[in-house]
Amino acid sequence: MQEANKLERPEMLWYHMDATAMKFSDEKYSVVLDKGTLDALFSDDSEATVSTVRQYFSEIARVLRVGGRYICVSLLQEHILKQVLAFFPEHDFMFRVVRCAEAEQKTAEDNSDGMAMPVFMVVATKFKKLPMKVFEICLAGEQIQRVQKSDEITLSIAAAQKAAMVCNGLVRGSIAGMSEISMDLHRPGQETPRYTIHVLDQKPVRGNGKYAAFIVPQGRETEWLFSTPQGRQKLLASASHDRLAIVSMHRGHDYVSWDAVKDELAESVKSLAPQGLHAHIPYLSLGSEVGRRETVFKGHSDLSGDYIVEEILGDDNKIFRRLIFLNNQFVIQSEAAIKIVRGKGKSMESKKVVDPGYLACQHHLYMTTGVHLATELGPHDDNKSVMVVGLGGGGLCTFIHKCLRNTKLVAVEIDPEMLTVATKYFGLTLDDRLKVEIRDGIDFLKDSAERDRCFRAILFDVDSKDPTLGMSCPPQAFIERDVLCNARKLVGDDGIFVLNLVCRDETLRGKVVEGLRQVFKYVMSYKLEEDVNEIFYCADHEALSSGEKWQEAMKRSAAEINSLARKHKLSRDNLIELGEFVHGLTI
């Protein structure tokens, strides 16, 4: 090295020396630069190796001046990072880790397999005495984030390394026939993800492109096509590319434009590309807009946690208002269509109103059909109400209230916050025909049965709060035998019990059906074609003692719902296709 540099850099000095026992005097240097030496020394985590490394660190601390820096380029494997964090902060060094994205990119371009491991730079600055430990990290861009504990650095580095391992695996091979891979992208210093990317592969098809990214417009991420693995597989099949990266944008962030989102995602999307793809990566979407999402209200429920009411701009500039629980952000709890109505008087100000004819949940339509059937079968009694267990945003109650105008309703809701949301943001109107009881639904059924109350119909439309179960509606407790027996007693021989079931487990569904059959003489169901909802109609009325009678009665009620919806200007067209509905009924 002396020979190679004697002409161009004669002032440079070269020493042959042991880095763990340097001959330099104390505090001689302002910078110690380590490019791979630590990684070379730290080949394993044996006691002898750790002892050598700690002696190396002690020598670095000794020869550095106060204010001087140890700068180390490293892959920071777990055992290395552990010792670096154990030594320097304990010896009054301010500690910073920076990710060297440019170095990784150059390595990936130089390697024939396109692989690159995350490269980090440790910057440890020496102080005489620090009043507290200082930890900083920068994993993207130029924004340096200060963190409180060394564990936060360890977890961040591990996440970056795991992501790189996943990306390297995607570069090398295909995951066709396997589960999708998903990852969250965060901005530095932000806890909530900015984007979620799902990566899917299918077997190569002649004529397909190799790889594309699909950006889901804001507000559309809750749709089946984008929010479920089955839906994303369908999107992959129709996208005409062997690999698809489906990108969803998270609420709580601003997205300026389509081009800005593409620029922001460019490097992340590129890192997921298959090996050898150097061509331009196409970006697909439902349109060249990122969509619009506006938060109307943020609230907290003691039962369901934080929630928001938001508005999104859908197709044809239609506005939809949604209730979202933040612990389950990809599920819409309630949705309403919003109409802009021109005001009256001098101001003529336009205002937003909820469209009562919009049915976000199609199963509400078929539950309403069951209510109408109950009114037709039973003797006329103005004192008999319909009980709806589970209010949510009030969509079901509002539709029944507007469509069946001779029906009295009592809605039972355990969460008082939902009553506020339904009346303030989703157009629920309380009057002499619609009351709300803030009670536990099971307790209300039991109390009502003990008091010998009677109801024309009872409807269960209750979500489970446990997403791990195979049945997400209703909670298991609502289909226990004693609860069903109370419902049977309350509707009597003339009424109908209607259950909205959402169950992906066939064995569990079978148990529900058997439980219903043990309590009710006659059970019929209708499975919605496009949704996972299945509506069960349960009764003991002799007019429903055969399949033909059931079908004829349901057909008449469905036809009347169509007629009433048109009459009350809830819809211009038939809401229920009678032939398909009757054909889909199962005894």
CATH number of the domain that 200 lies in?
Answer: 3.40.50
Looking at the structure of the chain, the number of domains it has is 4
Is 546 contained in some domain? yes
Q: What amino acid is encoded at 378 in this protein?
A: G
The whole-angstrom distance between residue 316's C-alpha and the CA centroid of its chain comes to 25
What lies within 8 Å, CB to CB, of 185 at 6+ separation is 193, 194, 195, 196, 197, 265, 268
Q: How far is CA 322 from CA 142, 194, 335, in A?
A: 37, 20, 4
What is the pLDDT averaged over residues 80-105? 92
Q: How big is the CA angle at 371 (ends 366 and 376), to the nearest 5 degrees?
A: 120
Same domain, 8 and 142: yes
Residue 50: per-residue pLDDT:
95
Same domain, 324 and 410: no
Same domain, 263 and 398: no
CB-CB contact of 408 with 525 (8 Å)? no
User: pLDDT-derived band of residue 530, with 50, 70 and 90 as boundaries?
Assistant: low
Same domain, 269 and 219: yes
User: pLDDT-derived band of residue 465, with 50, 70 and 90 as boundaries?
Assistant: low
Q: Which of 103, 138, 165 is the last residue of a domain?
A: 165
Is 507 contained in some domain? yes
Length of the chain: 587
Same domain, 308 and 426: no
What lies within 8 Å, CB to CB, of 393 at 6+ separation is 323, 333, 334, 335, 336, 418, 421, 422, 425, 426, 428
For residues 382 and 505, the model is more confident at 505
Confidence check: pLDDT of 90 > 90:
yes
Same domain, 264 and 349: no
Same domain, 94 and 193: no
Residue 167: per-residue pLDDT:
87
Q: Which pairing describes strands 455-460 and 496-503: parallel, antiparallel, or unpaired?
A: parallel
Q: Which of 354, 374, 405 is the last residue of a domain?
A: 354
Same domain, 17 and 38: yes
The helix or strand, by DSSP H or E, that contains position 145, with its residue range, turns out to be: strand 145-147
pLDDT tens sequence across 10-36 = 999 999 999 999 999 999 999 999 999
Q: pLDDT averaged over the chain?
A: 89
Domain assignment of residue 254, given as a range: 175-284
User: pLDDT-derived band of residue 294, with 50, 70 and 90 as boundaries?
Assistant: confident
Q: Which of 239, 260, 284 is the last residue of a domain?
A: 284
Residue 381: per-residue pLDDT:
66
- Which CATH number belongs to the domain containing residue 473 in this structure? 3.40.50.150
Which of these, 500, 536, 503, lies nearest to 520 by C-alpha position? 536
Residue 342: per-residue pLDDT:
76
Is 170 contained in some domain? no
What is the pLDDT averaged over residues 264-287? 85
Same domain, 447 and 529: yes
For residues 414 and 114, the model is more confident at 414
CB-CB contact of 224 with 233 (8 Å)? no
Same domain, 402 and 517: yes
Same domain, 323 and 395: no
Cα separation of the two ends of the chain: 89
This prediction has a pTM of 0.68
Same domain, 428 and 577: yes
* DSSP states along 214-232: EEEPTT-TTSHHHHSHHHH
